[in-house]
Amino acid sequence: MKITEKDAEILDYIVLKSLKLNCLRAYDLKPLDNLFLANSESVKESAYTYYFGILKEKNVVRVEKGLNNETVIYSIDIKTKEFLRQGGFKKEIKDELNTIEKAENIEKLKTKNLELQNENLEFSQTIREQEAKIRHLELKIKGIELIKQYWWFIGLCIFVGGLLLKLLEIAIAYVRQ
């Protein structure tokens, strides 16, 4: 059952009043009547039923039906005092809000983490592509460096090849004659 801050205030009032009086009846809660929006007795009664149901569920006080089907609330001495000492229903609401806030923060962090992982994946892919381009360029540079180192040999081969071609042409011309 989810309770609001207003509910927590009313419930804490009822628990405190039951502790002071030790036996609380509906007429002892008349100061609460002005907290309810409607002045209708049926609305007030259903609101009291709602609050008494919460109190019974939480087992902070004993809620029983007395004579004439009237609801009577008894404090459970040590348990009731300890509950109020720990902050009562207001503390429960505050704890629940903190839990919700933490859960929302965790969800935001998870979302941010996924975004960062996606960015990291894209970045890694880009790095791999760039490294592949660099390796390709390094191979081209090695080829160019090899040509630079052996340019004289290549030139010599071309010269000898040209010279052999001329000699071959001369030899063919000599054989034809």
Mean pLDDT of 106-121: 94
Residue 109 and residue 144: Cα distance in Å, rounded?
51
**CA angle, residues 85, 87, 93, in degrees to nearest 5:** 160
pLDDT of 39 above 80: no
pLDDT of the residue at 52: 81
- Position 31 in a domain: yes
Structure tokens at 78: 């040590």
Tell me the backbone φ, ψ of residue 53, rounded to 5 degrees: -60, -40
- Position 118 in a domain: no
Name the pLDDT band for 35 (thresholds 50, 70, 90).
low
pLDDT of the residue at 125: 94
Answer with the residue of higher pLDDT: 34 or 157: 157
- Position 60 in a domain: yes
- Position 11 in a domain: yes
Q: Write the CA distances from 101 to 9, 88, 109, 147, integer angstroms.
A: 21, 20, 12, 68
In total, how many domains does the chain have? 1
pLDDT of the residue at 117: 94
- Position 148 in a domain: no
pTM: 0.56
Structure tokens at 81: 């005092």
CATH code of the domain containing 45: 1.10.10
Residue 159 and residue 177: Cα distance in Å, rounded?
27
- Position 28 in a domain: yes
- Position 35 in a domain: yes
pLDDT of 38 above 60: no
Structure tokens at 144: 């160019």
* CB-based contacts of 88, cutoff 8 Å, min separation 6: 8, 11, 12, 15, 16
Q: Which domain holds residue 17?
A: 5-86
Residue 23 and residue 31: Cα distance in Å, rounded?
16
pLDDT in tens, 77-99: 788 888 888 888 888 889 888 99
- Position 164 in a domain: no
Q: Is 65 left (phi over 0), alpha (psi -120 to 50) or beta?
A: beta
Mean pLDDT of 123-147: 93
Q: Which of 28, 26, 31, 35 is nearest to 8 (CA)?
A: 35
Q: Which of 39, 38, 40, 66 is nearest to 52 (CA)?
A: 66
Answer with the residue of higher pLDDT: 72 or 112: 112
pLDDT of the residue at 129: 95
pLDDT of the residue at 108: 95
